[in-house]
Structure 1
Amino acid sequence: MDNTPHPTALPGVRPNRFAELLLADRHSLPLSIALHLVPGVLIVAVYLVLAQPLMRALDLPSFLGWAIALTVVLFPLQRLLLWLGRRRTGRYSLRGVLGYLDKPVPRGRLVAMVAGLIVWFVVVSSLLTALDAVMYDAFFTWIPFDDAGASATTYLDGTDRTVMIATLAASIPFTGFTLPLIEEYWFRGFLLPRIAHLGAWAPVLSTVLFSLYHLWSPWVFLSRVIFFFPGPWFVWKKQDLRLSIGMHVGTTLLMSTGGTVALLLGVM
């Protein structure tokens, strides 16, 4: 977000206190915490109440249940952002709602930085899997999610290989691209600029709250703070949302596609 005051609605548009609260240039700390964590609570609720029982009944992988839960919650968040854009600009747009869209990082440097961020994400998250296992075994074995576990491939256990390949392949456009993109719009594009007045603490808080939002894998919290932090930091530092989009979407697309291909070839 730049420092130029923005109207919360177009002239002649009936005031809406909810929209005005969300479109304010600054969010209070309690509001920001709520806007970070409530989507995670809703995702877990949708999974436990709807998706997990449905996957059990249809004998389908739990992975698909999480993809459904994420879609049910995150797609309306994207719709909310577009609605806010319409109130501000008169059309369904993310302009005027998201910050860090002025693209100050030159294209060549952007590509190099995103590539470096993806390498950091993949390498560090892989190295920290041992920490995830310790955290899961020590604190989270009670979690009632199907196929929960510290291993990144736990969801493959006991699942028909053909069904799993089909599920993963069909999920790539969602879990590999669309859903992480919406997360970046919401967490880094919408929420981070509105706590930018906290200075260097803003990307720290953004990373911590985003890691807490992943209530479906709380044992990865410490690891996620470490391997994800450079994305929010560079978005805040360089004022360019494309950096975290490139890191997050690039990594999930690479790993989901690579995992599906590895399973198809019998490597996993």
Structure 2
Amino acid sequence: MSKEKEIRSVWKLIILHLFPGIVFSIIYVFLLKVGIFENYPKLFIFSLAGIFSIIPLELGYLFYVAKKEVGSFNIFKILGLESKLKVKEYIFYTLSLFIVTGILMTALKPLSNNLLNTVFSWIPSSYNYVQDMSQFDRNIIILSILVRFFIFTLILPIIEELYFRGYLLARMKWMGKYSVFFNVILFSVYHFWSPWLIITRIISMLPLYYFVYKKDSLKLAILVHCLCNFTDVVAFIALLVKI
């Protein structure tokens, strides 16, 4: 990534990181208020919020920049972190980083729950998208598995990594060693819909994205992000088997 294409305005970086999350949260709350899919898991409403915010805003902005900089809508021409690893390296690093991230997330779960019940207790429980899925019938759980897999394991994580790491982090190299820290903090705050997880996300994701940055590999970031989200699909399948 050439230096002239770096984003050196801190305020612009903050806006680009946070704005999609703000829109996502507004749409999510709005859809909850109007009662769309009120008899279905909140996961369905959550997915709609992502479809109407993350896809048009993050992917749309990448198309806009690509058209502006290279004259076409080929977003891969404007992305950084282009280093290619060997297949064995991808497998080893992906599994290792997945395990490390999972251990940190699990270890910090009590902290997240404590923050939810104290600092963020003012947030109505009806806004929390995490639900006990056992209350729904088999067909709804099957639909939830499909939504979890295609929307939250493939589409949205890939777009987020293209936008946050492939585009934003790659253009923050002027910050040196602080670029990853700044990117991770803003990416964690971007999840406005679950503020009690901000600290957990920062601590859990720092090792992951610092390693991704050092290896200069966007594909590695995508693989780990998708694999982490796939654990929810596995949990839903396990629930389905019990029914």
Same fold, TM-score > 0.5, yes or no:
yes
- The answer to whether the aligner puts 1:69 opposite 2:49 as a matched pair is yes
TM-score, normalising length: structure 1:
0.82
Task: Show the counterpart of 1:261.
Answer: 237
Say whether the 8 Å CA contact 2:188–2:202 is kept in structure 1.
Answer: yes
Say whether the 8 Å CA contact 1:211–1:224 is kept in structure 2.
Answer: yes
Q: Which runs of 4+ in 1 moved over 6 A?
A: none
- The answer to whether the aligner puts 1:248 opposite 2:225 as a matched pair is yes
CA distance in 2, matches of 1:119, 1:158: 27
Task: Show the counterpart of 1:142.
Answer: 122
What's the CA shift string for 1:132-174, capped at 9, x where partnerless?
Answer: 111111111211362528xxxx412684232541332221101
What's the CA shift string for 1:229-259, capped at 9, x where partnerless?
Answer: 1222122212111221111112112x13201
The CA deviation at 1:199 is 0.7
Higher helix share: 2
The CA deviation at 1:28 is 0.9
RMSD over aligned CA atoms reads: 2.1
CA distance in 2, matches of 1:108, 1:174: 28
Q: How do 1:1-268 and structure 2 match up within 5 A? A: 1-3=1-3, 5=4, 24-55=5-36, 58-76=38-56, 77-103=58-84, 105-144=85-124, 146=126, 148=128, 154-156=130-132, 159-162=135-138, 164-171=140-147, 172-253=149-230, 255-266=231-242
Rate the CA distance shift 1:83–1:177 in 2: closer, same or farther, 3 A.
same
Q: Which runs of 5+ in 1 are unaligned?
A: 6-23
Say whether the 8 Å CA contact 1:48–1:145 is kept in structure 2.
Answer: no
CA distance in 2, matches of 1:38, 1:198: 21
SS of 1:236's equivalent?
helix
What's the CA shift string for 1:40-87, capped at 9, x where partnerless?
Answer: 11001001113553336x411111111110111111121321232233
CA distance in 1, matches of 2:101, 2:140: 25
Rate the CA distance shift 1:250–1:210 in 2: closer, same or farther, 3 A.
same
The CA deviation at 1:37 is 0.8
Among the aligned pairs, what percent are the same residue? 25
SS of 2:8's equivalent?
coil
- Ranked by relative contact order (alpha carbons within 8 Å, sequence separation 6 or more), the top structure is 2
SS of 2:53's equivalent?
helix
SS of 1:265's equivalent?
helix
TM-score, normalising length: structure 2:
0.90
Paired positions, count: 241
* Larger Rg belongs to: 1
CA distance in 1, matches of 2:223, 2:51: 20
